[in-house]
Structure 1
Amino acid sequence: MQRFVGKVALVTGAGSGIGRAAAIRFAQEGARVFCADLNLAAAQAVVAEIGERASAVKVDVADYASNQEMVAQVLAVAGKLDFAFLNAGLYGAAEGLDTVDEALFDKLVAVNLKGAFNGIKAVQPVIGQGGAVVVTASAAGVVGHPANPAYSAAKHGVVGLVKSCVDAFAARGCRINALCPGGVETPLIGAPDVEIVDGQELPRVPLRGMGQAQHVAEVALWLCSPASGFITGQAQVLDAGLLSTFAPVMLPIGP
């Protein structure tokens, strides 16, 4: 399909993982794509994969002025913005509450929560009628994450932020939703980026298994498409059933 011919898409965190997969898929579906990342060389490498339909932009999502400049560059080149996939994030090195100090907490909140806020604020005034914004939260944004409480707190904030911005985007005839992936094989956890395939060839993920970056990217594109026009202000969980039941090792509840 060519769902996004004539449309302009912006993807943050596009230098690898979910962002890279989404940028490539947007381009395959006909969109003009802007690949934004703090690592400009990584974004440029993705642009090289895509070809002339893509451009690279450097952005520090934790800095509002940088987000404004990113959007200004998109408008200067393309003249409009239809979709924004605000996907940039940071997990950080944490193995429990005792390993999370104030500096790490501040950094994770600055990138994951303030970064989402900055991106939303920068794109909302210019997003086109009928457009859509998707923000990457996490399954850790709906349940606690003992290994990294700061990350989980920031991602919970992203879900609340997205839900709170529905009216502002509806006033422009647009939608906004959050994605809450479970375990995903990306460079964030040391897995390599892999080739993008036809969506019909993506493997079914085993129960509570690890997904691929493209699994998440496909849902992000769907949330930008007219097919999801009845959906806004939601936190879409993609986790192979991880959060659907009590953990299998738990004892039955009851007398």
Structure 2
Amino acid sequence: MAGTFEGKVALVTGAASGIGRAAAIRFAEEGARVFCADLNLAGAEAVAAGIGKGASAVQVDVASYASNQAMVDAVMANAGQLDVAFLNAGFYGAAEGLDTVDEALFDRLVAINLKGAFNGIKAVQAVIATGGAVVVTASAAGIVGHPANPAYSAAKHGVVGLVKSCVDAFAARGARINALCPGGVETPLIGAPDVAIVPAADLPRVPARGMGRAQHVAEVALWLSSPAAGFITGQAQVLDAGLLSTFAPVMLPVGP
């Protein structure tokens, strides 16, 4: 995929760490001018500085439509085009079952994960280039229920439905939109550190139902944004090392 995004402009939200950081670095390695967006501006600036190559940082609160619009306006003012948007920012929250989810946490999870996706989609749709692509991070929890955090799962289910419902709006501009549904990923969102980006061919195979790296997800985001995926739109791409491929293992009773 070397040079796939040469001359293109890519916007990545949630770029200060985790999947967003990995994607920002990889888009740049493939030739894109990258805008790193995050609520954590210092973190986004650090990623942009590490990238070099004309990368820029912009602050965004995805739960605010005005902030999303200001982010897109900044991209257009500085680059004059937007070819790829990876709307990846998200929030999991401290939840361990329904009893631990109160109204405030529910509202925050929906505001960031679902309303945030809507705000980003609305803001980029008006300017996305012909031939462009939008990828939105949902979750495997957007395909099946998640008993530990039902509000998060509900929000991510909403993201999948939102993406599918926006196909025509993007098709009218000659662009595509898809969702990513990762399973377990080792990122700062769950307390894991960011790790160095490696050549894509050197990424390790993930064991069945194992945890992936942020870069595993970033590589799929790049592919979905590329011309190679030109036949794909309105889909929820699962990447989970087979986590959702079968019923959960049956625990047989133990006894004499």
Q: Same fold (TM over 0.5)?
A: yes
Rounded Cα–Cα distance in structure 2 between residues aligned with 1:193 and 1:116: 24
Rounded Cα–Cα distance in structure 1 between residues aligned with 2:110 and 2:248: 28
Q: Which residue of 2 aligns with 1:170?
A: 171
1:60 matched to 2:61? yes
Mind listing any 5+ residue stretches in structure 1 that lack a counterpart? none
Shift of 1:53: 2.4
- Percent identity of equivalent pairs: 85
Q: Which residue of 2 aligns with 1:219?
A: 220
Q: Which residue of 1 aligns with 2:133?
A: 132
Q: RMSD of the TM alignment (CA)?
A: 0.7
Rounded Cα–Cα distance in structure 1 between residues aligned with 2:191 and 2:117: 24
Shift of 1:214: 0.2
Task: Please list the CA deviations of residues 25-80 of structure 1 after superposition, one character each: whole Å capped at 9, or x if unmatched.
Answer: 00000000000000000001101110132000000000000000000000000000
Contact residue 14 and residue 23 of structure 1 kept, 8 A: yes
Rounded Cα–Cα distance in structure 2 between residues aligned with 1:100 and 1:106: 10
Contact residue 27 and residue 53 of structure 1 kept, 8 A: no
Superposed, which structure 2 residues align to 1:131-210 within 5 Å?
A: 131-210=132-211
Partner of 1:81: helix, strand, or coil? coil
Shift of 1:248: 1.8
Mind listing any 5+ residue stretches in structure 2 that lack a counterpart? none
Q: With structure 1 as the length reference, what TM-score do the two structures score? A: 0.98
Partner of 2:11: helix, strand, or coil? strand
1:70 matched to 2:71? yes
1:248 matched to 2:246? no
Shift of 1:250: 4.9
Rounded Cα–Cα distance in structure 1 between residues aligned with 2:248 and 2:237: 20
Q: Which residue of 2 aligns with 1:104?
A: 105
What amino acid does structure 2 have at the position aligned with 1:4? F
Rounded Cα–Cα distance in structure 1 between residues aligned with 2:251 and 2:237: 26
Partner of 2:193: helix, strand, or coil? coil
Q: Which residue of 2 aligns with 1:30?
A: 31
Rounded Cα–Cα distance in structure 1 between residues aligned with 2:98 and 2:49: 41
User: For this pair of structures, how many residues does the alignment match?
Assistant: 251
Contact residue 28 and residue 53 of structure 2 kept, 8 A: no
What amino acid does structure 2 have at the position aligned with 1:183? G
Shift of 1:99: 0.2
Contact residue 133 and residue 175 of structure 1 kept, 8 A: yes
Task: Please list the CA deviations of residues 139-191 of structure 1 after superposition, one character each: whole Å capped at 9, or x if unmatched.
Answer: 00000000000000000000000000000000000000000000000001111
What amino acid does structure 2 have at the position aligned with 1:111? I
4+ long deviations beyond 4 Å: none
